[in-house]
Amino acid sequence: MITLRLDTTDLTRIRFGDRPHPVGTAILACQALRDPDLAALMPDLATRAEAITATTGPLRHLLPARGLLPDFLTPYDGIESVAAGIESIRATSRRRITAELTDTYANVPPSPWRRRFAAADPQVLDLLTTALHRYFDAVLAPAWSHLTVTHRDQVTRAAEAYARSGVDGLLAGLHPAIRWRPPVLEIDSWWNAELSGTGEGILLVPNPLTGLRPRVLVQPGRPVLLVYPVPAPAGPPPHGPDPLARLLGHTRATVLRRLADPDRHTTTTLGRHAGISVSSASEHAAALRAAGLVDSDRAGGAMLHRLTPLGLHLLARNERWLP
């Protein structure tokens, strides 16, 4: 069990991750979906994961099937895309890689590849990150929009709990494996420790692919990262008419759904992925922005687009009708 002592500074700076972390979620999913009970709750993801076992072997071999994971593989940074998350992993120092993998592999049978990974061998890191990218594209990308709106729903529920009952109600109601005994948060995790907050607050991340127990990351100068299990998304959506396309039109609905994917969305990329011209993509983005579904900001010579909370809510209301 982890006991986490929090002071007033931490408790007044509680916030939620605004969306799932692509690479962090892929690492957690690779472990969680190997548990038959968890896989049964998310059969579509589990089936896709099983189908690519041959091409993602490094992930399955280098990551323990359950339990402790090295912190550097679930980074704070790189939330905007898979590529950014992988870049954050690659920036990890050799010393940290070795230290964390030594702990991770303490109860795992040794192998030549695991020894090389623990020694921060660049070739093994290349194999792992390549397999990680392949895993995300094949397993999580088809469900990413749904995972994103599920995250938003969980944050909304937690925010309502905070509004009704304050910090005590929020922390006491996160998960049965998390108990709030002021000023200590008790967390049933894969390791034991007595920790203190960093003074930078707490970053709460609900994730259905966390596994059976919450995950905790405490680093100086960073908020405490607490990733906790939540119910799996609803089962596969039924076939049928798509009300979002009926409301917005097929192309505009495609653009809106694309914006839920983890990426840097410019007008050019939106047009490319929707199969339309840049000028048409700009018109669709402008219409969605006028409706309050999209925010846009200029960055250099590009216009960047992202979903607003209202846009995410609209997706959540309609996602179950996806064909």
- Kindly report, residue by residue over 241-258, the tens digit of the pLDDT: 678 888 888 889 889 888
Residue 273: is it exposed, middle or buried by C-beta count within 10 angstroms (0-12/13-18/19+)?
A: middle
Instruction: Measure the CA–CA gap between 308 and 158, rounded to whole angstroms.
Output: 19
Please report, for the chain, the start and end positions of each structural domain, with discontinuous segments joined by +: 2-18+145-229, 22-143, 243-321
Separation in Å, CA 158 to CA 13, 147, 153, 168, 257: 15, 17, 9, 12, 24
pLDDT band at 236 (very low <50, low <70, confident <90, very high): very low
Q: What is the pLDDT of residues 72-105, one digit of tens each?
A: 999 889 888 899 999 999 999 999 999 999 999 9
Stronger pLDDT, 153 or 103, i.e. the higher one: 103
> Region 260-281: what's the mean pLDDT?
85
Strands of 129-267, DSSP E: 178-181, 184-187, 193-196, 202-207, 215-217, 224-229
Tokens representing 280 are 């048409």
Q: Looking at the predicted structure, is the pLDDT value of residue 136 above 90?
A: yes
For the record, the structure tokens of 201 come out as 């607050």
Region 122-148 average pLDDT: 91
Give the confidence band of 156 by pLDDT, cuts at 50, 70, 90: confident
Give the span between the Cα atoms of 51 and 45, in whole angstroms: 10
- State residue 317's pLDDT score: 64
Residue 312, number of CB atoms within 10 A of its CB: 25
Please say if the pLDDT value at position 50 is more than 90.
Answer: yes
Band of residue 212 on the pLDDT scale cut at 50, 70, 90: confident
Q: Which residue in 178, 233, 179, 176 sits closest to 209, CA to CA?
A: 233
pLDDT for the residue numbered 45: 93
Question: With pLDDT > 70 as the criterion, what percentage of the chain qualifies?
Answer: 95
Residue-wise pLDDT for 104-120, tens only, equals: 999 899 999 999 999 99
Q: Is the peptide bond preceding residue 183 cis, with omega within 30 degrees of 0?
A: yes
Q: What is the DSSP letter of 294?
A: E
What are all long-range contacts of 270-277, with beta carbons under 8 Å and residues at least 24 apart?
Answer: 270/305, 276/251
Task: Give the pLDDT band (50/70/90) at residue 285.
Answer: very high
Fold for domain 243-321? Arc Repressor Mutant, subunit A (1.10.10)
Is residue 323's pLDDT more than 60? no
Instruction: List CB contacts of 159: < 8 A, sequence separation 6 or more.
Output: 16
Q: Per-residue pLDDT for 320 more than 80? A: no
Phi, psi (degrees; rounded to nearest 5) at 177: -85, 0
The per-residue pLDDT for 196 is 95
Using a cut of 0.85, tell me whether the model's pTM lies above it: no
User: Across all residues in the chain, what is the average pLDDT?
Assistant: 89
